[in-house]
């Protein structure tokens, strides 16, 4: 990776961000003969890719909330289309690099409905997953979780139902990044080591990016694909940032554990539906006697670069109770933290900004890695002036805040998910208290949502974070104010 003498470098396209999305776009452009560079620090301190379970699934991520809006249904549909591209995408990487070892680590996904969740989330989402599979005519089969011999949860947190989705696999994210880098450089792309500090423009046209080192890299077009950290660069041109939803971080902690190598481990992803503001508890086989345990999700105004003790202990506790009781005898290989890029309205930012030549390719929340082959091709077509294959206009970054739910529905979602975190964390309360707490939360959040803004309401997890973080609430109010001023 090049890290010196960057001053004066000039490219047709500069991709800022060297996670899976950025590298996939760089590779797709390089294959087309574009003079392209991908910029990013080698250690990827704020990336989502490095801590990802890398599940190649769409249906396992379905929620009742997702299905209620046009934006959510569009995101679901492009996810289904992305799934169809992965076999060809992985074969292309093998051909580009000459490395034929499979990057797949899991054969299908087992969805588990266990006794930890609450009916309004887990049962509802489990049903929504089945109905969506039926609607897309995607194969699945009901299974008895007791037949999964590796599972050994606490009896009180055992899975009650299960279904196997054979078409939703997983890859090793670390090895995928390595192979993408290799393929990209072999195709003629350049990797630039550094951190973008400022967007450089002449009038209303982007000209390049100034690095923290003081060097400036010039480019005719710049794509911000640096996840949640893209906001740092956007903030250097306030008028551009004001025209689109602000980015925050969905901080996730995951653990790579070494289990008993003498006992056959799971061969498929094991996961629950999304719940408690997070992506459900999941285990992903990684080979070599290792399993990936993930993942928490905490909305934060800024990306995190170290995992918190709170989230790590919570995750491990959930895995011990809900998956296998003797996991505490396993070794911890690594505790990882990643930052999912979350727009303030909850939807991706894909397309050109108000600054000519500056593009966004982020805000994908939990789906960036899975969507990477599709989004890389779609963005390449747009950058090269070709006709897109998919209509992604609904995710144009220059937009007013998306209101996917009514204020009352958002408040209801926030309250139910807050209560779900208590149940998953094994809270112990007198029988009457949950109803009292729910009533108090509903009244409090209804009042708070009215105070946030007269017109707009952020998604439930962002609303919940703002309730506890005055500085974050200030950012949200400023975002709504600048949105109105930009209209």
Radius of gyration of the chain (CA): 22
Instruction: Provide the Cα torsion 84, 88, 90, 95; round to 10°.
Output: 180
Architecture of the domain whose range is 104-170+248-343: 2-Layer Sandwich (3.30)
- Parallel/antiparallel/unpaired status of strands 196-202 and 159-165: unpaired
Q: To which H or E segment does residue 434 belong?
A: helix 433-452
The rounded distance, in Å, linking the Cα atoms of 299 and 163 is: 30
Whether 337 and 256 have beta carbons less than 8 Å apart is answered as no
- What is Dmax (Cα atoms) for the chain? 68
Domain boundaries, the chain: 104-170+248-343, 407-486
**pTM (two decimals):** 0.96
Whether 59 and 133 have beta carbons less than 8 Å apart is answered as yes
Using one digit for the tens of pLDDT, what is the confidence trace for 82-118?
999 999 999 999 999 999 999 999 999 999 999 998 8
pLDDT at 72: 96
Lowest mean pLDDT among 7-16, 36-45, 308-317: 7-16
Could you write out the DSSP letters of every residue in 357-404? TEEEEE--TT-HHHHHHHHHHHHHHHHTTPPPSS--GGG-SS-PPP--
Angstrom distances, CA of residue 35 to CA of 13, 41, 193: 7, 20, 17
The rounded distance, in Å, linking the Cα atoms of 53 and 75 is: 20
Output 193 or 483, whichever has higher pLDDT.
193
**Other beta carbons within 10 Å of 430:** 7
The rounded distance, in Å, linking the Cα atoms of 299 and 418 is: 13
Select from 455, 453, 454 the least CA-distant residue to 475: 453
Residue 5: is its pLDDT beyond 80? Answer: no
Q: What is the mean pLDDT of residues 307-316?
A: 96
Residue 412: is its pLDDT beyond 60? Answer: yes
The rounded distance, in Å, linking the Cα atoms of 50 and 62 is: 23
Which residues are registered as beta bridge partners of 249? 300, 341
pLDDT at 170: 97
pLDDT at 157: 94
Q: To which H or E segment does residue 432 belong?
A: none
């Amino acid at each position: 990776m090049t890290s010196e003498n960057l001053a004066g470098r000039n490219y047709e396209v500069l991709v800022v961000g060297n996670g899976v999305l950025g590298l996939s776009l760089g590779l797709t452009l390089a294959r087309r003969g574009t003079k392209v560079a991908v910029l990013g620090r080698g250690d990827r301190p704020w990336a989502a890719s490095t801590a990802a379970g890398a599940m190649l699934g769409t249906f396992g991520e379905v929620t009742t909330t997702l299905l209620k809006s046009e934006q959510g249904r569009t995101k679901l549909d492009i996810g289904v289309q992305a799934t169809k591209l992965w076999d060809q995408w992985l074969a292309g990487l093998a051909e580009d690099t000459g490395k034929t070892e499979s990057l797949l680590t899991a054969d299908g996904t087992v969805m588990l409905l266990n006794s930890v969740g609450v009916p309004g989330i887990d049962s509802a989402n489990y049903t929504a997953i089945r109905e969506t599979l039926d609607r897309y005519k995607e194969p699945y089969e009901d299974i008895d979780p007791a037949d999964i011999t590796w599972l050994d949860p606490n009896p009180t947190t055992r899975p009650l139902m299960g279904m196997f989705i054979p078409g939703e696999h997983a890859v090793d994210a670390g090895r995928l990044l390595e192979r993408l880098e290799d393929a990209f450089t072999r195709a003629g792309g350049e990797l630039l080591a550094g951190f973008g500090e400022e967007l450089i423009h002449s009038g209303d046209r982007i000209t390049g990016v100034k690095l923290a080192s003081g060097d400036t890299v010039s480019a005719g077009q710049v794509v911000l694909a640096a996840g949640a950290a893209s906001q740092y660069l956007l903030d250097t041109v306030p008028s551009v940032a004001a025209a689109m939803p602000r980015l925050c971080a969905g901080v996730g902690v995951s653990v790579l554990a070494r289990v008993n190598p003498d006992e056959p481990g799971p061969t498929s992803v094991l996961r629950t539906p999304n719940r408690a503001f997070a992506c459900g508890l999941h285990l992903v086989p990684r080979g070599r006697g290792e399993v990936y345990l993930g993942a928490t999700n905490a909305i934060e105004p800024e990306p995190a670069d170290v995992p918190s003790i709170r989230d790590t202990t919570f995750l491990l506790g959930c895995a011990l109770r809900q998956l296998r009781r003797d996991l505490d005898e396993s070794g911890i290989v690594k505790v990882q933290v990643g930052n999912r890029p979350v727009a303030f309205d909850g939807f991706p930012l894909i397309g050109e900004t108000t600054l000519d030549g500056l593009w966004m390719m982020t805000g994908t929340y939990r789906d960036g890695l899975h969507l990477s082959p599709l989004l890389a091709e779609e963005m390449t077509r747009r950058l090269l002036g070709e006709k897109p294959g998919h209509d992604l206009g609904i995710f144009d970054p220059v937009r007013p805040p998306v209101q996917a739910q009514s204020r009352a529905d958002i408040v209801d979602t926030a309250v139910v998910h807050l209560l779900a975190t208590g149940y998953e964390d094994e809270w112990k309360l007198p029988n009457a208290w949950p109803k009292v707490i729910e009533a108090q939360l509903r009244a409090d959040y209804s009042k708070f949502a009215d105070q946030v803004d007269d017109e707009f309401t952020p998604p439930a997890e962002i609303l919940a974070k703002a309730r506890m973080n005055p500085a974050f609430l200030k950012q949200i109010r400023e975002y709504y104010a600048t949105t109105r001023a930009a209209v």
